[in-house]
Amino acid sequence: MTLDEFEKWIDAYGAKISSWPERVRGDAATFLDTDPAAQGLINEARALDGLLDQAPAGEVHASLVADILASTPSPQSSPASTQHTQGFIGRAESLIKILWPQSGWLRPAGLLTATMAFGFYMGFAGGDEINPFYEEESDTIATLFDLPEASDWDGLTWDEEGLQ
């Protein structure tokens, strides 16, 4: 590794060689031990790192936390409904076992009938509550919460310096 190469890496990643890409860390550590100028670069980079560490990071206010938590989605009824469904099927299967204890071949038909009956039941008794989150908002999710597309950046171009 040359001093120029060392400087390029330190320019990008700072003074902590442990933060540099793994494949150059060994060479960098060796170079640091053998070239006094490298230590000067490390000291300067360490000073910059230390200053950057002191850049304010903003504060977390309780009111913001409250606002964010107030915006959380309502609990879905899916898990409860699933348990409800499994409970219903379980009870129906138990009933079939009691009514036709020796009729194993009848069980699938009985279970199917019971499931259909449950479908009718849910249709009349609040099927909308099974998954309102998806029912009501899936389209909105698709349109609002994807990341900006390239077309959103019309009129602007990036180069590596930033906004042009």
| Residues β-bridged to residue 159 | 162
**What would the 3-class secondary structure string for 9-50 be?**
HHHHHCCCHHHCCHHHHHHHHHHHHHCHHHHHHHHHHHHHHH
Closest CA to 114 of 97, 127, 131: 97
User: Do residues 115 and 89 touch, judged by C-beta distance below 8 A?
Assistant: yes
Closest to other proteins by CB, 74 or 102: 74
- Judged by CB under 8 A, the chain residues 26 through 65 that form the site for other proteins are 43-45, 47-52, 54-61, 64-65
Q: Which is nearer to other proteins, 65 or 99 (CB)?
A: 65
Angle at 63 between CA 62 and CA 64, to 5 degrees: 90
Binding mask 85-124 for other proteins (x = CB under 8 A): ----------------------------------------
Task: Assess 126 for contact with other proteins (CB under 8 A).
Answer: no
Closest approach, Cβ 107 to other proteins, in A, equals 32
Note the Cα 35 to chain centre separation in Å: 45
The site for other proteins (CB under 8 A) is made up of: 1-2, 4-5, 8-9, 11-14, 18-24, 43-45, 47-52, 54-61, 64-65, 67-69, 71-76, 78-79, 133-134, 137, 140-141, 144-145, 147-148, 156, 158, 160-163
